[in-house]
């Protein structure tokens, strides 16, 4: 190889890393700014603009607790975990049924699931609010979990169908022949083999539910029932905006999602690549 070629390859590699670095800065800068704002004293926020924090304080975090923001974190955790479990279980059973069994309306069911994904959700606000009020589930996590499951289900089923499709039927049949029931074969063979898909679907459902604002705002009327996005919005005062407090609660709102992502990163790539057909 000529020296020229080697130099060119190095230049290309350098350029790649350079572009990646620029992209990272663009993506991460808002997060850095949020962090910076959350730890500097209020007067520094309104002072000269600088890249480094103008001082260091935990006041805003203490303030977040004193306004009860941690309660909304707990509400959100309840809703998000409920949504994740319900979505994953329903999506797994649904995907398995559509792929493995032949019955009338099977193809229609698969299309209907995708259709709900296309449906403008705003149009559901009034009927859902009315329904929740009628059955007395306003401000109850149950109604919100149901709504979030509806929102997350199509994509999660999509991911899981792509996964289950790749599991040869013979692996389940081998279990049937060795003495397992249909359900036993599903639980002992199919489910463990689709863990990456289940984790990808679950993570998607969790993140979707954690950040969902519209239905949470409409359904969770009492302030004690507010989830993180709603509580966050309530902190935008009508006359004065406490930037430090807002930044601090935003950081708090981000932490669970980041932690989940960090734990699941290994499986997420495979799961999403398979679910969307991008490999």
Partner 1 sequence: MTKIELDHVTKEYGSLVAVDDIAIEFTEGAYTMILGPSGCGKSTTLRMIAGLETPTRGDVLIDGEVVTDQPPRHRNLSMVFQSLALWNHKSVRENMGFGLQMEGVDKEERNARIEEIAAVLQIEDKLDQPPSELSGGQQQRVALGRSLVRKPEVILLDEPLSSLDEKLRLEMRTELARIQQELGTTFVHVTHNQEDAMTIADEILLLNEGEVQQFGPSLDLYHEPDNEFVADFIGSPSINLFDANIVENGAVRLDAGGISLDLPERHRDQYLSVPRSDVRVGVRPESMYLGDDGESGWPAFSATVDVVETFGDYNWYYLQSDLEESLVSQSANVNVMNSLSRGDEVTVRVNPESVHLFDPKSGEAYF
Count Cβ atoms within 10 A of the Cβ of residue 73 and give its class: 0-12 exposed, 13-18 middle, 19 or more buried. buried
178/140 Cα distance (integer angstroms): 46
Q: Which residue, 181 or 223, is less far from partner 1 as judged by CB?
A: 181
Q: Which residue, 168 or 269, is less far from partner 1 as judged by CB?
A: 168
Question: What residues between 81 and 110 interact with partner 1 by CB under 8 A?
Answer: none
Whether the Cβ atoms of residue 132 and residue 221 lie closer than 8 Å to each other: no
Q: Which positions from 150 to 179 touch partner 1 by CB under 8 A, shown as an x/- string?
A: ------------------x-xx-xxxxxxx
With tokens 């401000």, the residue in question is 139
Stretch that binds partner 1, among 70-78, 89-97, 147-155, 184-192 (CB under 8 A): 184-192
Q: Is 193 in the site for partner 1 (CB under 8 A)?
A: yes
Q: Is 182 in the site for partner 1 (CB under 8 A)?
A: yes
Whether the Cβ atoms of residue 203 and residue 88 lie closer than 8 Å to each other: no
Reading phi first (left if > 0) and then psi (alpha if -120 to 50, else beta), residue 167 is in beta
Q: Is 187 in the site for partner 1 (CB under 8 A)?
A: no
Q: Which residue, 6 or 181, is less far from partner 1 as judged by CB?
A: 181
Whether the Cβ atoms of residue 164 and residue 99 lie closer than 8 Å to each other: yes
- Positions in the binding site for partner 1 (CB under 8 A): 168, 170-171, 173-182, 184, 188-189, 192-193
């Amino acid at each position: 190889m000529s020296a020229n070629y080697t130099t060119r390859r190095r230049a290309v590699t350098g350029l790649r890393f350079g572009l990646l670095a620029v992209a990272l800065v663009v993506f991460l800068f808002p997060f850095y700014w949020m962090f910076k704002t959350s730890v500097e004293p209020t007067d520094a926020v309104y002072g000269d603009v600088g890249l480094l924090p103008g001082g260091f304080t935990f006041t805003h975090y203490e303030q977040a607790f004193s306004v009860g923001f941690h309660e909304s974190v707990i509400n959100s955790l309840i809703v998000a975990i409920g949504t994740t479990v319900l979505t994953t279980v329903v999506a797994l059973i649904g995907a398995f049924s559509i792929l493995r069994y032949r019955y009338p309306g099977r193809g229609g069911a698969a299309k209907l699931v995708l259709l709900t994904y296309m449906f403008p959700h705003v149009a559901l606000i009034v009927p859902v609010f009315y329904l929740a009020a009628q059955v007395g589930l306003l401000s109850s996590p149950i109604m919100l979990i149901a709504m979030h499951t509806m929102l997350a289900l199509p994509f999660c089923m999509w991911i899981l169908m792509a996964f289950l499709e790749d599991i040869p039927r013979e692996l389940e049949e081998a279990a049937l022949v060795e003495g397992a029931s249909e359900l036993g074969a599903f639980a002992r063979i199919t489910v463990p083999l689709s863990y990456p898909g289940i984790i990808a679907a679950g993570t998607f459902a969790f993140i979707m539910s954690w950040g969902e604002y519209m239905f949470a705002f409409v359904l969770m009327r009492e302030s004690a029932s507010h989830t993180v996005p709603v509580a966050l919005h309530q902190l935008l005062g009508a006359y004065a905006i406490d930037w430090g407090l807002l930044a601090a609660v935003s950081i708090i709102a981000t932490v669970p999602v980041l932690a989940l992502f960090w734990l699941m990163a290994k499986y997420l790539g495979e799961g999403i690549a398979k679910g969307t057909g991008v490999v």
